[in-house]
Amino acid sequence: MQTLYGALAGVPRVDWKRERWDTPDGDFVDVDRLPGPAESPLVALFHGLEGGSNSHYARALARELQGRAWRGALPHFRGCSGEPNRLPRAYHSGDADEIGWMLRRLRAEARGAPLFAVGVSLGGNALLKWLGEDGEAKRVLAAAAAVSAPVDLMAAGDALGRGFNLVYTYAFLATMKRKGEEKLRRFPGLFDGRAMRRARTLREFDDVVTAPLHGFRDTDDYWTRASAKPVLGRIAVPTLLLNARNDPFLPAAALPVSAGVSRVVRLEFPDEGGHAAFVSAPFPGNIAWMPRRVAAFFEETMG
């Protein structure tokens, strides 16, 4: 654990350039940009649950892109940029439509340069779901990578509801409940506030808040319909799936197998790496390995 903390502490801050996009339904998202040459590849990064451009993996990836003189764009999911979004809805693990409109906007501005996408954790599942469901994804993206994606949300959610993993769950719930309270102030009666405050697991929170806000019957319906695993066989864009077998968020037994993915999907499941960390090098270590591996995969697809 000391190695992990030391590695994360060594990740430098990034001088992102922020801009605001209006969404098709009258909301907004904030997008943090990493400038670069106009003809260079553009890499979109979709963050994890309650993450953003200050997350360790975002800063590590930005450092890798800067070293390659590539451009970067990190669209924050609604409510994750430090300011509440306008509408009752927020974001969820199966937000494929949200991913789609963001990537199409970035494709339009890429001006012929390769557009790549990386999704980490929740963002990885949502990206994979879009890749498997959108028949035109190949016209938008040159390649994609999903890192530590909980592609089986039922298995992941149950894993986070027991044992030491509850430490992660409580950290997520702390910020999610604050956002829930803010939504109730603006939209009284939007959901059962007392039930939200009682929630001690993601299953309980999703049952009261996430599922009903986004058109799902309950947690089981949400986790089943939002999971990317069933659509991995339909992906047509070259895609890297990178998960550590010791990731506490997704048991190794729930990882996809080669027979369940399309021929353009590459499965890489190292034994170590935890969740979106992949610490390497001597003490205190660093987290540069994952961004290098992802960028190398993208470079490989460029020929």
Residues carrying an active site annotation: 121, 247, 275
DSSP H helical segments within 111-238, as ranges?
122-133, 137-140, 153-159, 166-186, 193-198, 202-205, 211-213, 219-226
The CA R_g of the chain, rounded to the nearest whole Å, is 18
Task: Pull the structure tokens for residue 174.
Answer: 């702390």
Long-range contacts, 196-199 (Cβ 8 Å, 24+): 199/173
Would you list the DSSP string of 61-123?
Answer: HHHHHHHHT-EEEEEPPTT-SSS--SSS----TT-HHHHHHHHHHHHHHHTTS-EEEEEETHH
The sign of the torsion formed by the CA atoms of 15, 20, 25, 27 equals positive
What's the residue count for the chain? 303
Inter-residue contact 65 to 36 (CB < 8 Å): yes
Task: Pull the structure tokens for residue 22.
Answer: 């209006």
Centre a 10 Å sphere on the Cβ of residue 182 and count the other Cβ atoms it contains: 12
Alpha carbons 132 and 138: distance in angstroms, whole number:
11
Centre a 10 Å sphere on the Cβ of residue 54 and count the other Cβ atoms it contains: 15
Q: How far is CA 192 from CA 77, 87, 287, in A?
A: 23, 17, 40
